[in-house]
Structure 1
Amino acid sequence: MDPRPRPLPALRTVRANGVTLAYRETGPATAPPLLLLPARGESSADWAPVMGPLAAHRRVLALDPRGHGASEYPGTYSFPLLRDDVRAFLAALALPRVDLVAHSLGGIIACLLAQEHPGLIRRLVLEDVPAPLPLATPRPVPERPTGPLGLDWRMVLATEHPRNHPDPAWWERMERADVPALVLAGGPTSVVDQSTVSALAERLPRARLVTVPAGHHIHAEDPDAFLAHVLPFLTADAPGDGPANAPAHEPAGEAADEAGSN
């Protein structure tokens, strides 16, 4: 891959689920759509190392979830709400079906979406995503860093308890996420317990687990390896795949309350 940094696409905004969400878009407008969800605390800019190659043959949309980056900071946060935002975002942009790549806790949002609305997702890539299981050693509540933040700290506090004690239904319903999935594990240097990544891959009905020993941020630390696994997976055909931009058995619905961009 060309090591030279590429300029990021300009930010756009759309109203969805009662909030203003920011996102970046690149690639051919008529190409199959690919949605990127960042880790908690990151933004669409985090996908810069791989956004260009992914957009060679895809319409790539990288989202700032609510409370992240340039999106609205409404003060109300939960994983189900973040999931509903994604569904509303897809509806606002008239995207009935997408491929979805999600990193870390962004992957929990993706899994919840796949459980409730599997028809919205053609193929799913989960990058070093921990299974939503109670932590053996709960994480302490983090202290707010000094200086400016590219996120709403209230979002961090609101989502910390579900990280330690997730809703048991999230795990029980994981088998509903019946979509082809590629689970990438970061290996022994990752900050995520790799046994939980493996457990998630085993729980998903149609998942394949691949370890890329690059740590937690595979797409940033080893973008070539990341792309070497993700691109073939996205372009491979599986029974029932169909076009990424065509409706499956479930339409996107009228989840957005208002759509527009600037």
Structure 2
Amino acid sequence: MPQFDVDGARLAYDDEGPRDDAEVPLVFVHGWTANRHRWDHQTAHFSARRRVIRLDLRGHGESTGAGVPGIAHLARDVVALLDHLEVERCALVGHSMGGMIAQTVALAHPARVERMVLVNSIGRMTYSRGRGLLMAASTLVPFPLFVAANIKRAFGPGYPREEIRKHVRASAATPREVVMTLYGAMRAFDVLDRAGEISAPTLMVHGYHDVQLPVRQMLRLAKAYPDAVVRVLDAGHELPLEKPAELTGALDAFLTAKP
């Protein structure tokens, strides 16, 4: 497992697959409280024929770094990894918060993103006043309960309970400071009014049963994009875990389609 240092953190990453100048590397960015292994199915599939890069965001997985200022800082970490690996241009795939990071990279460095895939992600969190108060109040409960409540509701109907419990435990191992800071950062994230500036062909894949970031919010973002393809699958918020093969198939079709 290679690592590199950036701005007070040591980030773990994987860099696999053949180098081929004909295809840009595929870069995967995981979501809140997850790690790079969310992409195991996609990495195994794509690294057989192209370069695949994935990282643990600071404070997640095997990466260090407790102080996390927000989404823009994480986007700078991704760009720093591209610089470290001398990757000038890539196809960028982000899940949930990772999709927020991907959009931030695409807006700040448009020449570096050839294509983009947003998995269960949005451009702005919107909710009723009552839902907003409930979300704010949820931060006051004990940390393990806060994490468990958020992770359990991320999965769609029928996902095995023991698997959910395993992911709750893994998420709760993420430092509290990282979890809570980025929870606030996601609530504040808003690029909806700038989405039309992103010219890279974009695929948006979403779970129909996603209650964390409802599908209607993704569709609102899709309308703002000049060039977006939308796929909705029968799953919740955790598509990489719930429907790995279907997600990989959607990515494959999009990445191999002519621009």
Tell whether the structures are fold-level matches, with TM greater than 0.5.
yes
Deviation at 1:189, TM superposition (A): 5.1
- What SS does the corresponding residue of 1:129 show, helix, strand or coil? coil
Cα shift readout 1:132-171 (whole Å, capped 9, x = no counterpart): 23432222326422878442221121122233333x5x22
Alignment size in residue pairs: 226
Deviation at 1:17, TM superposition (A): 4.1
Q: Does 1:56 align with 2:52?
A: no
Cα distance change on mapping 1:143 and 1:125 into 2, 3 Å: farther
Structure 1 residue identity aligned to 2:179 = V
What residue ranges of structure 2 are gaps of 5+ in the alignment?
146-168
Structure 2 residue identity aligned to 1:231 = D
Assess if the C-alpha contact under 8 Å between 2:71 and 2:186 holds in 1: no
> C-alpha separation between the residues in 2 aligned to 1:232 and 1:189?
23
> C-alpha separation between the residues in 1 aligned to 2:16 and 2:173?
22
Cα shift readout 1:186-220 (whole Å, capped 9, x = no counterpart): 11355421111111111222111111112222222
Tell me the C-alpha RMSD between the 2 structures.
Answer: 2.0
Q: Which residue of 2 aligns with 1:25?
A: 15
TM-score (norm 1): 0.79
Structure 2 residue identity aligned to 1:65 = L
> C-alpha separation between the residues in 2 aligned to 1:160 and 1:218?
20
Q: Which residue of 2 aligns with 1:68?
A: 60
Q: Does 1:220 align with 2:219?
A: no
Cα distance change on mapping 1:237 and 1:150 into 2, 3 Å: farther
> C-alpha separation between the residues in 2 aligned to 1:56 and 1:41?
28
Structure 1 runs of 4+ aligned residues shifted over 6 Å read: none
For structure 1, which segment, 135-144 or 202-211, has the greater mean C-alpha deviation from structure 2 after superposition?
A: 135-144
Which protein has the bigger helix share? 2
Q: Which residue of 1 aligns with 2:144?
A: 145
Structure of greater relative contact order (alpha carbons < 8 Å, 6+ residues apart): 1
The correspondence of residues 67-86 of structure 1 with structure 2, limited to 5 A, is: 67-86=59-78
> C-alpha separation between the residues in 1 aligned to 2:60 and 2:213?
21
> C-alpha separation between the residues in 2 aligned to 1:64 and 1:150?
14
Structure 1 residue identity aligned to 2:67 = G
Q: Which residue of 2 aligns with 1:200?
A: 221
What is the percent sequence identity of the aligned residues?
27
